Amino acid sequence: MRLPFTLLIDPVPADSRQQNFDDTFHEMDSSAPALRVGELSTQRGDGIFETLAVVNGQPQEVEPHLSRLRNSALICDLPVPHIDQWRAAIAYAVARIPQQGEVALKFVLSRGVEHGPAPTAWLHATAAADFSAVRANGVRVITLDRGYPRGVAERAPWLLMGAKTLSYAVNMAAIREAHRRGADDTIFLTADGYVMEGPTSSVVLQSNGEYVTPAPSGAILHGTTQQSMFEYLRARGERVQYRDVTVDELRQADAAWLVSSVRLAVAVVALDDVLFPADQPLTDALNAYLLARTA
Ligand code: PLP
């Protein structure tokens, strides 16, 4: 039982009939060299990933993460992942990490090495950062132009907008810009003023008595945490909706959250330097629900 925990994976083709995958998993010392210099994931960010939470030994939302990995592979023309193998790799890792506390489990499928092994894959589990303060106190958020108009994903699929690719340099730059402006996080807008998502989270708002998130039309990720949040809200009898949200609607919302797998739900408490109403009791209840998920 240890962290960090690293597993190199020999990906099998999606149509393989193999059922036991243990011989395709290779445990690594997390500080030992593991990737070749020619890796296209490190040279070009050419690969996809998922990060899921493991809470007290329970991996959360495994199937939605696996299905998003598959969808990202299709968008990026990567070899389609063998879902049973990935499910087995997650179970293999979860059985070997501490069964208490919150863990971030990241898994990566890379285009591999030019003229070498391809694709390549690995999984890496680390202790999650302590997010208790932001879960309790919320985040100050700025809006930033993502630079693309609405509908760009359909017109320019080579931008890979709906795939969770490894190329997060832009996303990290947006968070640094938020810090430069005295805020904690960012909400991306389309060039024509529609709400997209955060650099590492989905956006949900409460507006006119319903809970709304921008439709995952191809330009943004379909967040697994946002889907859990909608299940929770539906079970409480609330109305939930996927639809376009303008920045003006966001500014006038009754509450808004950034939600993601490891940080979970954090309330927006300021938007572009203006105080924003937060529903902390709902945020607390939602995070208790999210932490207690068992599948
Ligand atoms: N959107 C982006 C760009 C993300 O990077 C993430 C998560 O990292 C999300 C949304 C939220 O997805 P999930 O709730 O599945 O973690």
Q: Which two tokens stand for residue 228?
A: 């859990």
Phi then psi dihedrals of residue 147, to 5 deg:
90, -5
Residues in contact with 288: Cβ distance below 8 Å, sequence separation at least 6, in sequence order? none
Q: 3-state DSSP call for residue 19?
A: coil
Same structural domain, 193 and 275:
yes
Tell me the per-residue pLDDT of 120-168, one tens digit each, with 9 for 90 and over: 999 999 999 999 999 999 999 999 999 999 999 999 999 999 999 999 9
Provide the CATH number for the domain around residue 48.
3.30.470.10
Tell me the per-residue pLDDT of 38-97, one tens digit each, with 9 for 90 and over: 999 999 999 999 999 999 999 999 999 999 999 999 999 999 999 999 999 999 999 999
Nearest-CA residue for ligand 1 atom 7 is 200
Boundary (domain end) residue, out of 93, 127, 161: 127
Tell me the per-residue pLDDT of 253-277, one tens digit each, with 9 for 90 and over: 999 999 999 999 999 999 999 999 9
Q: Which domain holds residue 217?
A: 132-292
105, 165, 204, 261, best to mutate for ligand 1 pocket (most atoms within 8 Å of CB): 261
51, 61, 260, best to mutate for ligand 1 pocket (most atoms within 8 Å of CB): 260
Residue of 9, 3, 11 lying closest to 122 (CA atoms):
9
Same structural domain, 162 and 267:
yes
Indicate if ligand 1 lies below 6 Å from the C-beta of 60: no
Same structural domain, 153 and 70:
no
What are the strands, taking DSSP E only, across the chain? 5-9, 25-28, 47-55, 58-59, 102-110, 120-127, 139-145, 185-189, 202-207, 210-213, 239-242, 255-260, 264-271, 274-275
Same structural domain, 25 and 120:
yes
38 half-sphere exposure, CB direction, 13 A CA radius: 8
Q: 58-59 and 202-207 as β-strands: parallel, antiparallel, unpaired?
A: unpaired
Boundary (domain end) residue, out of 102, 127, 152: 127
Q: Residue 1 pLDDT > 80, yes or no?
A: no
Q: How far is the CA of 246 from the centre of ligand 1 (A)?
A: 20
Amino acid 295: pLDDT: 65
**Contact (CB, 8 A) for 192 and 151:** no
Same structural domain, 56 and 83:
yes
Q: How far apart are CA 229 and CA 220, in angstroms?
A: 17
